[in-house]
């Protein structure tokens, strides 16, 4: 009998983290960065085994860059709102009508690098605790994470590894989209509608920062 996969969606990933002052801390291991098994179903579906990249793509949007930048100083933090794409891509997104829409450079290869929007919708967090923590992180950090506090004191009893930028590897593939479902009496579309309302002000501020630079 085959073993049930441990990680199949965003809730599974967040449940495996220790949340300290907004940071989602992945358990320390001998890996240089938070990673899932390359043979796991979620790694295969998302074409990467980077935990930070998987959570970013599910909770926010498919990133255009192959490397994410972590803005907190917490080792092994995988909170998607503590990460951004490289500044070059952030500036391009601010100029779009929708910050989370695909960049022109992503359109042609979208089906090769990430699953469909329907599949990503099914993978989004639905547990109330995870959803609340993400809303709080989004409101604090903003779209480009520039509003984050510069330092976070960690509980010394939580084991973490040396901080590294997550190396993000993509493998081309394509999958069919199943029907999205909801749990716990909450609708994920309501959660992300609230999230975008909280971030609208931050997007305006980010646009002003880009203009000033």
Using one digit for the tens of pLDDT, what is the confidence trace for 122-134?
Answer: 999 999 999 999 9
pLDDT: is 23 or 110 the higher one?
A: 23
Provide the pLDDT for residue 210.
Answer: 52
Query: Coil, strand or helix: which one is 29?
Result: coil
Q: What is the pLDDT of residue 193?
A: 55
Share of the chain above pLDDT 70, in %: 69
Side-chain-facing half-sphere of 139: CA atoms under 13 Å:
11
CB-CB contact of 67 with 165 (8 Å): yes
User: And the tokens for 53?
Assistant: 């990249």
- pLDDT (0 to 100) of residue 205: 57
User: Residue 172, CB half-sphere, CA atoms under 13 Å: how many?
Assistant: 5
Mean pLDDT, residues 46-72: 93
Residue 34 has pLDDT above 60, yes or no: yes
Residue 119: pLDDT band (50, 70, 90) is very high
* Diameter over CA atoms, the chain: 60
Q: Is residue 97 part of a domain?
A: yes
Tokens 């907190």 belong to: 72
Confidence grade of residue 77 (pLDDT, cut at 50, 70, 90): very high
Q: Is residue 79 part of a domain?
A: yes
Instruction: Assess if residue 2 is contained within a domain.
Output: no
Q: Is residue 1 part of a domain?
A: no
Distance CA 111, CA 49 (A): 18
**Which residues form the domain of 156?**
10-212
* Burial (Cβ within 10 Å: 0-12, 13-18, ≥19) of residue 65: middle
Cβ-contact 76, 143 below 8 angstroms = no
Residue 4 lies in a domain: no
Partners of 23 in the β-ladder? 20
Q: Could you give the number of structural domains in the chain? A: 1
**pLDDT tens across 135-145, in order?**
999 999 888 88
Mean pLDDT of the chain: 78
Residue 163: pLDDT band with limits 50, 70, 90: very low
3 occurs within a structural domain: no
189 part of a folded domain:
yes
User: What is the structure's pLDDT at 122?
Assistant: 96
What pLDDT score does 28 carry?
85
Tell me which long-range contacts 108-113 makes (C-beta under 8 A, separation of at least 24). Answer: 109/172, 110/62, 111/174, 112/172, 112/173, 112/174, 113/47, 113/62, 113/170, 113/172
- Cα 30 to its chain centre, rounded Å, is 22
Q: Is residue 5 domain-resident?
A: no
Better-scored residue on pLDDT, 6 or 197:
6
Q: pLDDT value at position 68? A: 93
Other C-beta atoms closer than 10 Å to the C-beta of 112 total 12
Query: Of the given ranges (78-87, 103-112, 194-203), which has the lowest mean pLDDT?
Result: 194-203
């Amino acid at each position: 009998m085959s073993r049930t996969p441990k990680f199949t969606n965003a809730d599974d990933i967040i449940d495996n983290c220790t949340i300290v002052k907004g940071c989602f801390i992945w358990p320390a291991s001998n890996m240089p960065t938070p990673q899932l098994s390359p043979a796991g179903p979620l790694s295969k579906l998302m074409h990467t085994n980077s935990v930070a990249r998987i959570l970013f793509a599910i909770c926010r949007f498919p990133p255009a860059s192959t490397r994410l930048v972590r803005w907190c100083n917490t080792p092994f933090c995988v909170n998607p709102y503590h990460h951004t794409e490289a500044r070059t891509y952030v500036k391009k997104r601010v100029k779009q009508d929708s910050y989370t829409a695909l960049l022109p450079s992503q359109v042609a290869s979208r089906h090769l690098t990430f699953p469909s929007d329907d599949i990503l919708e099914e993978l989004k967090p639905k547990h109330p605790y995870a959803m609340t923590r993400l809303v709080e992180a989004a409101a604090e950090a903003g779209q480009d994470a520039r509003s984050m506090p510069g330092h976070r004191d960690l509980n010394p009893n939580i084991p973490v590894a040396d901080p590294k930028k997550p190396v993000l590897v993509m493998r081309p593939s394509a999958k069919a989209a199943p029907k999205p479902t909801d749990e716990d009496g909450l609708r994920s579309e309501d959660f992300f509608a609230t999230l975008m309302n909280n971030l609208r002000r931050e997007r305006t501020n980010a646009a002003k920062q880009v203009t000033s630079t």
